[in-house]
Amino acid sequence: MTLNPSLDRTVQVDRLERGAVLRTSAPTLEPGGKGVNLTRALSRNGIDSIAVLPVGGPEGAELSALLDAAGVATRLVPVNGRTRSNLTVSEPDGTATKLNEPGSPLSTADFSVLATVLAGLVSARDWVVFSGSIPPECSADQLVALMTSVTDLGASLAVDTSGDALTASISARPRVIKPNRAELAEAVGRELGSISEVIVAAEELRSRGVERVLVSLGADGAVLVGEHGAIVGESTVLEHRSTVGAGDCFLAGFLSKFSADESDEESALVEALAWGAAAVGLPGTSVPGPGDIAYSNVHLVWQPDLDRPLVAT
């Protein structure tokens, strides 16, 4: 479920300079929104997934056409607002500057239709992921009600969002949440400077009703915290091209393994790191396929230095 999808345009520049007139590469136009990226990544690797999203206006029509051309399974809900259009400016070292529009509000009727669509798709054996930002004027009650409609059907809920939306979603008792370091810090109200502090913060969210907290830490790897403790993993990226969508591919990789065998958390974390690293090596918001994903530069850290300062972000 992507409540605030986007039409993503990516251009490359030699160096981003504020106030300058810059020449860019030819633009790459791709379907965007974190949940859309997640479905694209799963589908590219032969795993069934359906992208559910509201669409509106000419941007929504173009987004729909791109998803159809890519062979992505969708359930599109027409709305009166306009689908947002985002711009990413990428530099050769992998630095990406994103200019994201806020999107259009969804009406009460729109939420009702989305709930009906979900009810017709979801069964108790499914995973449903709510991913990305929420539209303007979306209340916590509306968000949680939509999430709860999924868990009431017996489906497993995963959440990848931030700020007040992440905090509110905890009351829906998701099985997995995937914050990055900054999002986790915001959720607990303090800075997180080491792996040990990340683990303590993740346990704090677990105490509020989350089953597992999957934390992406960029160059510092990732941490999975669940009922059996914490698992730490790292990956090496040989060529940084774009971090846009890497977190979505990270979660897709995790769910591709975990949804099939929940007892093998270690393999699920390795898969997450491999998919995320592969995404960083691709341009724009491209998602990795089987030929892009390598495991040689991914490993679990069995005796991590829990107090080592994390790389600044």
Asked, for residue 180, whether it belongs to a domain, the answer is: yes
Q: What is the mean pLDDT of residues 15-32?
A: 92
The CATH number for 93's domain is 3.40.1190.20
Query: Does this model's pTM top 0.85?
Result: yes
Q: What is the pLDDT of residue 242?
A: 76
Q: How far apart are alpha carbons 109 and 104 in whole angstroms?
A: 14
Owner of token pair 């399974």: 73
| Residue 301 tokens, joined | 């850290």
126-130, 284-288, 298-302: lowest mean pLDDT where? 284-288
What type of residue is 291? G
The pLDDT-based confidence of 36 (bands split at 50, 70, 90) is very high
How many other C-beta atoms lie within 10 A of the C-beta of residue 213? 25
Q: Examine the pLDDT at 243 and tell me if it is beyond 90.
A: no
Q: Is 248 a catalytic residue?
A: yes
Q: What is the mean pLDDT of residues 10-39?
A: 92
Contacts of residue 271, defined as CB under 8 A and 6 or more positions apart, other chains included, come to 253, 254, 256, 257
Owner of token pair 């990406």: 96
The pLDDT-based confidence of 312 (bands split at 50, 70, 90) is low
181-185, 217-221, 243-247: lowest mean pLDDT where? 243-247
Q: Examine the pLDDT at 299 and tell me if it is beyond 90.
A: yes
Q: What is the pLDDT of residue 313?
A: 58
Supply the mean pLDDT for the chain: 94
Catalytic residue from among 14, 248, 264, 292: 248
Asked, for residue 1, whether it belongs to a domain, the answer is: no
Contacts of residue 205, defined as CB under 8 A and 6 or more positions apart, other chains included, come to 170, 177, 184, 187, 188, 213
Question: Length of the chain, please?
Answer: 313
Nearest to 38 by CA among 276, 251, 285, 256: 251
Asked, for residue 127, whether it belongs to a domain, the answer is: yes
Asked, for residue 306, whether it belongs to a domain, the answer is: no
Q: What is the pLDDT of residue 28?
A: 86
Q: The sheet that has 156-160: what strands, in order across it? A: 127-131, 156-160, 176-177, 212-216, 222-226, 229-235, 298-301
pLDDT digits (tens, 9 = 90+) for 100-158: 999 999 999 999 999 999 999 999 999 999 999 999 999 999 999 999 999 999 999 99
Q: Examine the pLDDT at 174 and tell me if it is beyond 80.
A: yes
Decide if 174 contacts 147 (C-beta within 8 A): yes
What's the DSSP call for residue 53? Answer: E
pLDDT digits (tens, 9 = 90+) for 154-172: 999 999 999 999 999 999 9
Q: What is the mean pLDDT of residues 220-236?
A: 95
Asked, for residue 311, whether it belongs to a domain, the answer is: no
Asked, for residue 120, whether it belongs to a domain, the answer is: yes
The pLDDT-based confidence of 245 (bands split at 50, 70, 90) is confident
Decide if 202 contacts 230 (C-beta within 8 A): yes
Q: What is the pLDDT of residue 179?
A: 97
Overall number of domains in the chain: 1
Decide if 84 contacts 4 (C-beta within 8 A): yes
Q: Is the dihedral of CA 24, 284, 167, 308 positive or negative?
A: negative
Decide if 7 contacts 102 (C-beta within 8 A): no
The pLDDT-based confidence of 232 (bands split at 50, 70, 90) is very high
| Bridge pairing between strands 51-55 and 74-78 | parallel
Asked, for residue 310, whether it belongs to a domain, the answer is: no
How far apart, in Å, are the Cα atoms of 49 and each of 101, 115, 119, 256, 313? 26, 18, 16, 10, 32
Domain that holds residue 288: 6-301
